[in-house]
Amino acid sequence: RKEVEQDPGPFNVPEGATVAFNCTYSNSASQSFFWYRQDCRKEPKLLMSVYSSGNEDGRFTAQLNRASQYISLLIRDSKLSDSATYLCVVNISRVGDSSYKLIFGSGTRLLVRP
Amino acid sequence: EADIYQTPRYLVIGTGKKITLECSQTMGHDKMYWYQQDPGMELHLIHYSYGVNSTEKGDLSSESTVSRIRTEHFPLTLESARPSHTSQYLCASSEITGGYGNTIYFGEGSWLTVV
């Protein structure tokens, strides 16, 4: 079983739709969580961190459920430019510990159609 | 924008040649990484470093080697390139501390084709 699992998709949605992705992680020592976005043939870029209380950035909402060990990303009012692969990233570490490990999920592909 | 740079961006080279992919960052990050990613596939960590003179192998076995003589520089070398090495190589860096401070930043990648 992978340490971080994502539905590979693709999620094919019309413009304006709301879409949600989930990501599950297996290591309960995971400390911090992120969503990255990767466009085709480009490098991954940080989309947002995911905090315990949940956080929002414009049309994007991220949530963390430590009890069930999953994080989610909600995209409202989808735009054509949201088409990309969304990578879940989990950091297994203790604060101040340099030997932390960043685990990437394999990504969920989103296609937003006109 | 992240201050992490990779050269060359694209390289086509013959089998058996030695190649070095360069990676430099100006963010003062201690931790640096090399990932390998085929088109449409997931990222695989092949090397990482905690700082100067530190190098570790990642989760995916690779015939490449790395060095870390300076904090800002983390080159990757293939002594004898083969077609199976054809892939995208992504360099990245992050801060040394744990928690949310260690956001990872990627370079634009080096696309290697071995013919």
Angstrom distance (rounded) from CA B75 to CA B77: 7
CA angle A73, A77, A81 (to 5 degrees): 80
Angstrom distance (rounded) from CA B78 to CA B85: 9
What HEC string does A19-33 produce? Answer: EEEEEEECCCCEEEE
Asked if residues B35 and B46 have their Cβ atoms less than 8 Å apart, the reply is yes
Kindly report the nearest CA distance between residue A104 and chain B, in angstroms: 7
pLDDT in tens, A45-61: 999 999 888 899 999 99
Asked if residues B68 and B32 have their Cβ atoms less than 8 Å apart, the reply is yes
Kindly report the nearest CA distance between residue A15 and chain B, in angstroms: 23
Which of A49, A98, A107 minimises the CB distance to B100?
A49
In this prediction, residue B97 carries a pLDDT of 61
pLDDT in tens, B26-74: 999 999 999 999 988 999 999 999 899 999 999 888 899 999 999 999 9
Question: CB-hemisphere CA count at 13 Å for A33?
Answer: 28
Q: Do B50 and A96 touch (CB under 8 A)?
A: no
In this prediction, residue B66 carries a pLDDT of 97
% of chain A residues with pLDDT over 70: 94
Give the pLDDT mean for A70-97.
89
Above 90 in pLDDT, residue B102?
no
Asked if residues B81 and B17 have their Cβ atoms less than 8 Å apart, the reply is yes
CA angle A8, A12, A15 (to 5 degrees): 135
Q: Do B108 and A94 touch (CB under 8 A)?
A: no
Which of B90, B96, B103 minimises the CB distance to A46?
B103
pLDDT in tens, B74-96: 999 999 999 999 999 999 998 86
